[in-house]
Structure 1
Amino acid sequence: MADVVDTRMETPTARTIRLRIPGLHGHLAGQHVDIRLTAPDGYQAVRSYSIASGGGRGALEPHELPDDELELTVEELADGEVSPYLVRGLQKGDQLEVRGPVGGWFVWRPGDSGPVQLIAGGSGVVPLMSMARAHAAAASTAPFRMLYSVRTPFSGYYTDELAGLAADAAAPLHVDYVYTRQAPAGSETKPGRLTAEGFMQRVLPASDSPTFFICGSTPFVEAVSGWLVDANHDPARIRTERYGGIGGTP
């Protein structure tokens, strides 16, 4: 069982949750955990959630986490069985049944020195934020870029922290936002979905041999992965993860 240490709303529909898991000895950036809820009548529901913390860093105070703690950020789904409780009902001091961390392919390790391009659609930024935090914690010199597609300036996660990581001289993260419905005030770029041409102008070129980590809705992931393959990027360097929520194309 995991203890709920603290929580914070990231957006009106998303919540970051810090858990303490006895016996946990850290985790890899990009892994996930499975959470099981059991109703009074015995009905059970299990859902997987990406870990948001990375390199011993998280969003909540204090930012440095001991090895037996991690953070999740959960987006509420209107028709969900688990996420509404985690976002609206869970309280500090509660306990959750957790399995994991799980996963060894969609992960970034501090010893990886090659260029990395992170591509997030909506709440798909969560495991990529774990990688960005681990990159900063290791003061890694590996080139790191993030392309983050969100509906509006108010729907993005970790906005202030991402700005701070971009300004980190030791291990900078280049962040590029795409706004699909509403752009920030004063923006010279109109909101709209990504096109293949616009996308390729915003990501590392094939000549750099980057590794791609892509997370978002299934249509988003399939579209951008296809654009990368069409542009002669190595399919073996394109790693994808999809979430089950409602989402559209880029």
Structure 2
Amino acid sequence: MGGWRRARLTERTAQTATGRTLTFEVPRWPGHLPGQHVDVRLTAADGYQAVRSYSLAAPADTDRIELGVQAVDGGEVSPYLADDLPVDADVEVKGPLGGWFVWTPQEPGPLLLIAGGSGIVPLMAMLRARLASTSTEPCTLLYSVRGPDEVWYAAELDSAHDQHLRILRLYTRLAPDHSERPAGRITKADVVDLPSAEGARCYVCGPTGFVEHVSALLLAAGHAPDQIRTERFG
């Protein structure tokens, strides 16, 4: 893992009105696994420091890392990172961190990813690794958002094609006209009989209430507790 490393912001991409992808160049980055995260440290001119954790959104790519940042109203760090940190400015990062909420294409069996809102970020790293692999194991991403404007990686998800992959969007407040499912909270019916459900390794990420609710649904649908891995925030 090592200590703190200098990270230079090279690119900022808007995902939603308040969600951003930040790409950093980190010299001598040791690499990471899909699902891991880093700590980001900011230091003010007066020496005050603030540290926050952010998920890695992509598999390891030489000295580049990609983070997902959701700006939180009144937040001390996320609004600055999302919109104010200048391109070419430096921060410090420590990581990669976390060894439980991870997945690699070498792991056997079906894969079920369930994300709520910005919880898609670490699962996107898993999905990208899955698409880049030669795996033929079935994989399903169930992505729950309030409305169409809150979908992260929308164009990339629309263009993801793999005969063994299925991507489903679930809208909780405002569903587009073409949606077959009316807007509403995720239910047991949404997680039963998914293409990769039987015997799947399940990864769930999102706000605490969402993760607890989905975990209970998966257990009720017959998934083994040791096959459900969760990461939550808020």
Q: TM-score, normalised by structure 2?
A: 0.92
Q: For the residues of structure 1 that align with 2:228 and 2:165, how far apart are their CA atoms? A: 19
**Other-structure match for 2:68:** 73
Q: For the residues of structure 2 that align with 1:181 and 1:214, how far apart are their CA atoms? A: 20
Q: Are the aligned partners of 1:132 and 1:173 in contact in 2 as well (CA < 8 Å)? A: no
Q: For the residues of structure 2 that align with 1:90 and 1:10, how far apart are their CA atoms? A: 17
Q: For the residues of structure 2 that align with 1:99 and 1:76, how far apart are their CA atoms? A: 21
Q: For the residues of structure 2 that align with 1:152 and 1:203, how far apart are their CA atoms? A: 24
Point out where structure 2 has 5 or more consecutive residues left out of the alignment.
1-5
Deviation by residue 1:56-99 (Cα, 9 ceiling, x = unmatched): 5xxxxxxxx4x111101111000211100011101211111100
Alignment partner of 1:18 is 2:23: yes
Alignment partner of 1:230 is 2:220: yes
**Other-structure match for 2:200:** 210
Identical pairs, percent:
48
In structure 2, relative to structure 1, the CA distance for the partners of 1:201 and 1:142 (3 Å cut) is: closer
Q: For the residues of structure 1 that align with 2:165 and 2:194, how far apart are their CA atoms? A: 14
In structure 2, relative to structure 1, the CA distance for the partners of 1:203 and 1:74 (3 Å cut) is: farther
Deviation by residue 1:118-156 (Cα, 9 ceiling, x = unmatched): 000000000000000011112322211110000111100
Which amino acid in the other structure matches residue 186 of structure 1?
A: H
**Other-structure match for 1:177:** 169
Aligned length: 229
- Cα shift at 1:230: 2.3
2:95 to 96, 100, 103: 100
Q: CA RMSD in A?
A: 1.5
Point out where structure 1 has 5 or more consecutive residues left out of the alignment.
57-64, 245-250
- Cα shift at 1:42: 2.5
Q: Are the aligned partners of 2:34 and 2:104 in contact in 1 as well (CA < 8 Å)? A: yes
Q: TM-score, normalised by structure 1?
A: 0.87
Q: Are the aligned partners of 1:47 and 1:82 in contact in 2 as well (CA < 8 Å)? A: yes
Alignment partner of 1:123 is 2:118: yes
